[in-house]
Amino acid sequence: MQMSPIIISIKTASAAIALTFLLGLFAARWIVKMKSEKIKMILDGILTLPLVLPPTVMGFLLLIVFGVNRPIGKLLLKFLGVKIVFSWTATVIAAVVISFPLMYRSARSAFEQIDQNLIMAARTLGMSERTIFWKVIMPLALPGVAGGGILAFARGLGEFGATAMIAGNIENKTRTLPLAIYAEVAAGNMKSASYYVIIVLLISFVVVVLTNYFSLKERKYFK
């Protein structure tokens, strides 16, 4: 069993959750504050789409966006010398896109459960919107937000389809744990595949326990 898939997966999931966490918070707060319910429904559908589409479809769409023969891919390669496809960066992008809806929906749900009277009271005390967000909203929403972050991290760690499409299965470069399991099984190395599966099972179990813990805290917060 090689260690590189484990290291690549942890690096990818860690980088992805840093981006997903911030993007999910921003998107959730933006949607919650939106006045028009029709626009909110449309944007919510777009932001949630990666959750319901097959990962291979999202991988195909990412190839359309970042392929070297596509406008964005060409610009990145020409002006920055960056080639996204079949690189480690591609594994991060795939993980972010696939895990983002979990973070977004968890954060949105947590924000929507906050008592609006508390926010109004903070405004009457002269607190700025930024201060209200960090001093009132985030502490109350923290269990739900943290639970969403854990789920998003696990989803990024276990991403397969979109990663295979845009990043490939390159040993010591883009081969994550799910891709390593697939490669080992395809090669008939069931023992090595079993080791990787055990690692994924252990991580998944820890994720479930932590998610249940934060769900329990969230229920206590809003009783």
More confident position, 178 or 219: 178
Residue-wise pLDDT tens digits, 90-139: 999 999 999 999 999 999 999 998 888 888 998 888 888 889 988 889 88
Confidence at residue 218, expressed as pLDDT on a 0 to 100 scale: 57
Number of domains within the chain = 1
What's the CATH code of the domain at 79?
1.10.3720.10
The residue type of 64 is I
Residue-wise pLDDT tens digits, 138-174: 888 888 898 889 889 989 998 999 999 999 999 889 9
Q: Could you give the 3-state DSSP secondary structure of residue 46?
A: helix
Confidence at residue 73, expressed as pLDDT on a 0 to 100 scale: 83
**138 contacts 209 by C-beta, under 8 angstroms:** no
Confidence at residue 78, expressed as pLDDT on a 0 to 100 scale: 79
Name 196's Cβ contacts closer than 8 Å, sequence gap at least 6: 1, 5, 6, 177, 180, 181, 184
First to last CA, the chain: 48
pTM above 0.95, yes or no: no
What domain range includes position 56? 4-221
For residue 211, the tally of other CB atoms under 10 A from its CB is: 18
Both tokens assigned to 140: 């109350």
